[in-house]
Amino acid sequence: MSRAFNFSAGPATLPESVLRQAQDEMLEWRGSGASIVEHSHRGPEFIQVAAEAEADLRTLMSIPEDYAVLFLSGGATTQQALIPLNFAAAGQTADYVVTGHWGKTAIKQAKPYVAVNTVASSEAGGFRDIPARGEWQLSKDAAYVHITANETIHGVEFRDTPDTGDVPLVADFSSSIASEPVDVSKYGVIYAGAQKNLGPVGITVVIVRRDLLERAGQNRADIFNYASHLKGESMLNTPPTWNWYMLGLNMKWMLAEGGVAEFARRNAEKAALLYSVIDGSGGYYRNEVAAAVRSRMNVPFFLHDEALDKPFLSEAKAAGLMALKGHRALGGMRASIYNAMPVEGVKALADFMKDFQQRHG
Ligand code: PMP
């Protein structure tokens, strides 16, 4: 077997021990006569798996009791449509801060349901910065303010939680959830697809302050109603049980490794190493994001000559470093270095980059 260091932006690398445990338990889950993926979601086996995953996520992220946790399908994109449906009246204003591609998709999904007010955007500057909070022109009666905590493609990350006063802050944490300690109580809603930092694709976590679930929202089918999902314990319909189980294994792994404080330490070390190679390359490699908001999770970078992209990718692959091609919207390269990417993987990439520069300088 030759597992590479996988820098994919998502679905992304998972800890080998988690994959091995899933492999061990694949045919039969703990003497229960069947795989967990073959058990009813209403049976005691899966109910235990689901409850443990939630309890472990709550411990990991220090989620307060007045917050509900939902495990849904549909990905982050579906939540981007459900958020206005659940938390805003039809046509009510909702404020959006756009710091990259995913802020724009959030607006696209919300537009049929709310009057979107883009209160700040860094698009004119190519999404290389985050407009200062002081420059945001918040609406008077906004239902909520939406931000993207970490922009996966542009590599731009909020390093502080912006203060939006009494207006609930809704944050897309798809690519940075549980990567460092976060004060959940500063948010109205945190949502994230699992496929970067929490586990496999196919399950989405929505952490919501319970009082917000009392909002009437808009006319919508029951399956689009977060309050109904809570009442039904995220089992209004058949949930993605395998993905939920895998997420649970990953939560246990993160807790055993030392929790979010330890991952914050590792993530800072990994990011600092990679940016130092880029910045120290004399322009051979380039990342143009403002230093204060550079992402610790996704590091987009460009080689000084596009003609080097192909050899860079093929030589990296031969060196056991995979999935470094940048998103098609930006081109260039991108190294996604989520929680499950070990420090050794980033060291190997840093060494490879220095070596490549020497050989192709
Ligand atoms: N938001 C962010 C920040 C993302 O990175 C992604 C996926 N890359 C999405 C939303 C969309 O997620 P999904 O594909 O799970 O709908």
Q: Are residues 177 and 96 in the same domain?
A: yes
Q: Are residues 228 and 346 in the same domain?
A: no
In a domain, 11, yes or no: no
Contact of 147 with 103, CB cutoff 8 Å: yes
Q: Are residues 265 and 249 in the same domain?
A: no
d(CA 359, CA 239): 51
d(CA 347, CA 264): 17
In a domain, 5, yes or no: no
**Of 169, 108, 173, 180, whose CA–CA distance to 143 is shortest?**
169
Mutate to test the pocket of ligand 1, among 108, 175, 191 (most ligand atoms within 8 A of CB): 175
Q: Are residues 276 and 163 in the same domain?
A: no
Q: What pLDDT score does 271 carry? A: 98
Q: Are residues 336 and 250 in the same domain?
A: no
- Angle at the Cα of 201 from the Cα atoms of 198 and 207, rounded to 5 degrees: 50
Which domain covers residue 250, as residue numbers? Answer: 17-256
Q: Are residues 200 and 271 in the same domain?
A: no
**Of 326, 324, 321, 315, whose CA–CA distance to 344 is shortest?**
321
Q: Are residues 40 and 151 in the same domain?
A: yes
Atom in ligand 1 nearest the alpha carbon of residue 74: 16
The interface pTM score, or ipTM, of the predicted complex is 0.99
Q: Is 102 a catalytic residue?
A: yes
In a domain, 197, yes or no: yes
Ligand-binding site membership of 225 (annotated): no
Q: What pLDDT score does 179 carry? A: 98
Q: How far is the CA of 76 from the centre of ligand 1 (A)?
A: 5
**How many residues in total does the chain contain?**
361
- In degrees to the nearest 10, what's the CA dihedral of 213, 218, 223, 229? 0
In a domain, 8, yes or no: no
Q: Are residues 265 and 240 in the same domain?
A: no
The residue out of 256, 287, 307 marking a domain boundary is 256
Q: Which of 29, 56, 95, 172 is catalytic?
A: 172
Which residues are registered as beta bridge partners of 276?
A: none
In a domain, 119, yes or no: yes
Residue nearest to atom 9 of ligand 1 (CA): 76
Q: Are residues 251 and 270 in the same domain?
A: no
Cβ contacts of residue 221 below 8 Å, gap of 6+? Answer: none
The residue out of 228, 256, 284 marking a domain boundary is 256
Q: How far is the CA of 31 from the centre of ligand 1 (A)?
A: 36
Residue 31 CB burial class (10 angstroms; 0-12, 13-18, ≥19): exposed
In a domain, 294, yes or no: yes
Q: Are residues 219 and 73 in the same domain?
A: yes
Ligand-binding site membership of 50 (annotated): no
Query: What domain count does the chain have?
Result: 2
Contact of 192 with 171, CB cutoff 8 Å: no
Q: How many CA atoms lie within 13 A of 134 on its CB side?
A: 0
Q: Are residues 190 and 43 in the same domain?
A: yes
The residue out of 207, 230, 256 marking a domain boundary is 256
Which residues of the chain are under the pLDDT cut of 50? none
Q: Are residues 291 and 205 in the same domain?
A: no
**Of 82, 129, 130, 139, whose CA–CA distance to 106 is shortest?**
82
Ligand-binding site membership of 152 (annotated): yes
Ligand-binding site membership of 219 (annotated): no
Q: What is the CATH number of the domain that holds 75?
A: 3.40.640.10
Place of tokens 């609930």: 168
Q: How far is the CA of 200 from the centre of ligand 1 (A)?
A: 13
Q: What is the CATH number of the domain that holds 301?
A: 3.90.1150.10
Mutate to test the pocket of ligand 1, among 80, 146, 150, 152 (most ligand atoms within 8 A of CB): 152
d(CA 247, CA 222): 26
In a domain, 6, yes or no: no
Q: What pLDDT score does 27 carry? A: 98
Q: Is the pTM of this model over 0.95?
A: yes
In a domain, 126, yes or no: yes
